[in-house]
Structure formats: structure tokens, C-alpha cells
Amino acid sequence: MNKLVNCCRLNSVQKIPINFHLIRFLTALKNADVFNVQATGIKSSLKKTTKHESFVFRSFFGEFDPDYLRFPKLVDNDQESVLLKQQYEFVRKNFLKLSGDPKILKQNGFYDLSTLTEVEKAHLFEALGSSLEFKTNESRQFESANNLIKLDQLSVTNSFLTCYQEKKKFLSATLPLLIRNSIISNTIQNSSNDKLKQRLMSDFKNVRIALAFDEPNDYFMSPTYPFWQSTARFDQETNTWLLKGKKSRILSDDYDYYLVFCKIKNEHDHGIGSFLIPAEDVIIEPDGTDNYGTKFQTIIFNELNVKKDNAEIAIDDQATLLLNMKASGHLMSSAVLLGIMRQVFNNIIDNCCQVKEEKIEFKNLFINHITRMSEMIYALESALYLTCSHYDTFKLNQMDLYLQAMVVKIMAAEYLEEMLKSIRFLYRPQQISSIVSQDMNDVINVLNAFLDTPTSIRMLLATYGLRNIGRWRYDNVVKLRLNRIYPIHYFKYQYDRFKRQFFLRYPEAYDGFKSLENLDPLLRNSANLLRKVLEIETEMGTYILKLYGKECVKNQIDMNRFCTMTVNAFQMVSIICRTNDSLLRGSPFTSQQLRMCENLCQKSHREVLSLEKLIEGIAEIAEERRTKIIHQSNIRFNGYFAKPTFDRVI
């Protein structure tokens, strides 16, 4: 792991010279028809390291791994930096024009990004998100109308129809690209079926593959894979798989294949398998539309026999690899949301430079909100690219990066919603249209609901955390209470405790906090706050389990609070890692980043402390306190009954 201190790539010797890529790209900027997405060419030179678990998993137990203090070096030289910046600007300014024609997108390389690393993909999808709210000076002046629409003239205006059509065109192009270049591409590239993988990747941009992952359900949460009804059973005699089940929420299109994820049906009923099924072998039914008219479909496959060599993509008994594949979709959708946030923030700054001076009170309020927005962008960007670099650095069959991707998706969805609320609070209706589109909330809802909603991800993340704490820690406490009846439980508990004491269970975990002492002295206070947050997180997890036992899943209020602690912990380590990297490199923006790091860590620590009090019952919930005050006042003033006109006879 010492090789990963300054960069996430190794042995990048055999590469096409960047000068060639740069010259070719700058030439392509003159004409969108000949533009082609370019990679820096480092993916083939990456050497991945085996690592178990993740920061989020360790944080459930209050542990820390020093490997997460190493922020990746995204570019190796100035030429690569220029290449990525020029490509970002071109996509930001022209993607909306290109998105209406799938042939141009395919010609420009958007349908096959397999040569890009996850970091480069995130950078590209961030540019896609920025293109949605990119506004020229002419369009900004046109949208900044001085007069509002009168009440008697309310109708569907041309500007609204144009905006609606642009958003619909953007979503219809972006969602398939998200699915294709994250989940589908990564799953095939990590396939153990070399012949099938080579056949698909040789002409990947022309193969139409749909993702079939979601199970039909009537609840707000998607069921986890142990509860899937879609199953796959292997027959060793015939060397075939028997598939049975149903998949929903598939984007409607004319596909060649469906990439179906099923629960492995064996002795233990554990694990996930992915299979490539021809479209003619399944039954297709409509599955509704969303707000922008995007159609979905459901597929049914009953007693479908497929040959292993022709259909099996990947089989994962632990489900870690394929859950990481799904989580790559969370990261790319978060990158799109980050791009929207960044462009909206730039629109605010441009609008601020054009408007006249306001009152001093408004300036102070504006500065506070702008500071908060920049902090949210900095935190989300740090968490996103740190997690993407882990996809490029570590092997994906052992490390549960899907937990970190869940945190990134939660941050992206909630921070963007908070940002829009601040904009509506700061600006008049005449000014908002020059900053953000009037139907942006609908677009955000569609992107937030991609794969899973933030609410369901919160409950799922808290369930993972409490289940693992209960498995490794709380179950041992229960067994210890039975030591008089079952002495073997007592000795087993003591042996596990002995192993942890000598750092045999996690070699780096219990020694990890010492690495915080090696940080720059300017980050020492933030590191201490991180340590306190991790301690509170694991204490509250144990407290919830002791309080509710196996019924803790039903208490979703405390589960939501526990998830917020986990999100804050990962946010803190991401920004500390990035700020420390800036200090080591001597970045010219170090002072601003250091100030944002301190503010974010202090804010996260205060929020975790308040959640600790709420979970422990020290402080009451605001609604409970309000109800209590109303109840007491009604008792005092006879508010529950109408007062009679004469004195009550008792």
C-alpha cells in the first residue's frame, strides 16, 4: 500500500504520448461531428491491490484505516490536465446539442467508455451534468424577464416547453449512458467468462444491452438480494443454468440482450449471478412512465434454461463484486448531480457580478449561503473522487465499496436539494430563471430515483451497519451472558477479545488512529473531531441494538440518525484526506481548502453530538416537545372542552 501514497497508478510507461492525444483532441474541438472522447491511457497500466472491507464498514466499529488518508493523484502532468479540462469544457457546452442524436453520441465515443478509469468517467459525467444548466450570456439575458406572468395569462409558454424538451432529451440520452458505461460495462469487464467477455467488448458500442436489476415491489425500498424472487439454479450434469423470475424498471428500447441479476439458488441460498439473456427468450410487458415520459418495461423469464458458456457473466458467492458493480451506477449519477451543482453555483457567481449592489444585510446573508454551497461542492467532490479512485486501485471482489457509494449518492441528492432551497430563499422569481431551470426539481427527482432513492439507501445503509455490529459485537455480549450454561461461549468471546488486543483480526484497524498524528499540525483538530465522531457512531449503533434488539429495523427514526452519523464520518475523512494532499503538494488554494475542512468537520461533529443526544433520549424531538407544550396548555386552560357560559358544577 505504500506504493499508493501519491498516486493511484503504477508502471505507466507504455502509453501513447499525451501530445498525440492532445493535438487530436484540440483539432476535434473545431467540429463536434469528429469529436471523440479521449482517455489518458493509464487504465491498462493500473495494478490493483487486494483489500478487505471499506472505510464505511470500519466506521461501524469505530475503527480507522490509514489507507484512506491517501488521496489519489488524478493527473500525472500538465498535458493530461489540459486534455481533461478541454474535454470537460467541450462536453459542458455541446452535450445538449449532441444528445438528440444517438448516432452522433455513438460516433463520438459516448457508447463505449471502457478505456476510461472510473475517475475519468466521473469527470466526464460531471461535465454532462454541467451541460444541463450551462447558460450563455444571451440566454441568461433572455430568461431574466423583468415582468412576471400575470395570473390571467397563466399557460404553457414556449420557454417552458423548450426547457421541458431539453430536460427530456437530456434524460433520455444520459440515463442509458449511465447504465451502459457503469454497471453493464464494469460487469462484463469483470466477467470470468473470457470468451463471452471478448465477444461483447470487441464491438461493445454496437451491442444493445439492457440492465435488469430491480425486483417488482410495492414498497418504497427495493428488496435486498436475499429477498429476491428471481433465482438461478445450476445443473452440473447439463452445465446449464435454470433462471426463473421477473425484473422491472427497465428503460424501454429495442434491445439485443438483457443483463439479468439473480439470486443464486443453492444449499445456502447465498450470492448473486449475472447472466446475458437474448431478448427473444423473455416476455416483455410495459411498466409505466416517469414525469418526462420515459417508458419502462418488465421482463418475465419462467423456467429458462441457458448454457453456462453462452450466458454466464459473473457468479459471486459473497455478492460483493456485483453489488460494487451496481454501486458504480450510484457514483456516475452522483457525478451528474455534482456537475449540476457546480454549474448552478457558477451561474450564481455570474449573476452576482451583473446585478447592482444590494443592502449590507443581504450581502452577509448571501456570503453565508455561498460559503455553504462551496463547502457542499467541496465535500461531495472529495467523497466522489476518493471512492472512484478506490475502484481503480483495489480489487472489487473483496472490498465492499458499495457502502461508500451509497454515502456519496446520499450526499449528492441531499446537497443539491439543499442548494436549490437556498437559491429560492435568496432570489426573486425574476432572477431564479437566469440561475436554474424552473423544472430542475423534476430532473433531480428522476436522477435521485435512479437505481435507488436516497431514503431507501439511508435505511439500507443503516441496516448494513446495525447488522454487522450485531453480528460481531452484540451477539458476543449475548453469548457472554450464557457463559454459566454454555462455557464454550465464554472462552470463544475471550479468545476473540485476545485476538483484537494483539491486532490479529484487523492488522491496521486498531493502530490506524496513530496515523492521524502524522498529519499536518493544521489538520490535527479536524483529525481529533473525526476520531470522536467514529467513537460516537459505534457507541450509538450498540445503543440502538441494546434498546430495540432485532426490532431495530422498525425504528426508522433512529436508523436514519445512525445513517447520518455514517455519512458525516465518511465526509470528514474525505475532506481531511484531500486537504492533507493539498498541503503536501503546496496547492495555491490550500488556505481556502483548509478553512472549508475545518468548518465542515466542526459542523459534522456538532450534528453528530446532537444526534447522540436524540438517540439517547437526553433531548426531545422537536415535534414531541411541541406536542407536550400544547398538551400542557390545554390542560391548564381547559382547552380540550368548550367553556360553558356558567360556572362548572363539580
Quick one: pLDDT at residue 469? 84
Res 648 pLDDT > 80: no
Question: What distance in Å separates the CA atoms of residue 142 and residue 140, rounded to the nearest whole number?
Answer: 5
Q: Are strands 240-251 and 231-235 parallel, antiparallel or unpaired?
A: antiparallel
Give the confidence band of 68 by pLDDT, cuts at 50, 70, 90: confident
Q: Which residue in this structure is represented by grid cell 452484540?
A: 474
Quick one: pLDDT at residue 123? 92
Res 507 pLDDT > 90: no
Res 288 pLDDT > 90: no
Res 196 pLDDT > 80: yes
Whole-number mean pLDDT of the chain? 79
Q: Are strands 257-264 and 272-278 parallel, antiparallel or unpaired?
A: antiparallel
User: Taking Cα atoms as reference points, which of 9, 61, 2 lies closest to residue 389?
Assistant: 9
Quick one: pLDDT at residue 197? 92
Distance set, CA 162 to CA 93, 158, 261, 429, 570 (Å): 17, 6, 38, 19, 40
Quick one: pLDDT at residue 75? 63
Please report, rounded to a whole number, the percentage of residues in the chain having pLDDT higher than 70: 75
Domains of the chain: residue spans and CATH: 1-142+161-452 (no CATH), 499-628 (1.20.140.10)
Res 572 pLDDT > 90: yes
Identify the residue with better confidence: 383 or 481: 383
Q: Write the CB contacts of 421 (distance below 8 Å, at least 6 apart in sequence).
A: none
Report, as an integer, the average pLDDT of 182-208.
Answer: 91
* Segment among 44-53, 313-322, 391-400, 602-611 with least mean pLDDT: 44-53
Question: What distance in Å separates the CA atoms of residue 344 and residue 130, rounded to the nearest whole number?
Answer: 8
DSSP H helices in 355-401: 360-393
Res 242 pLDDT > 80: yes
Report, as an integer, the average pLDDT of 533-537.
Answer: 92
Report, as an integer, the average pLDDT of 118-141.
Answer: 79
User: Taking Cα atoms as reference points, which of 337, 342, 346 lies closest to residue 414?
Assistant: 337
Res 483 pLDDT > 60: no
Quick one: pLDDT at residue 29? 44
Quick one: pLDDT at residue 34? 54
Quick one: pLDDT at residue 543? 85
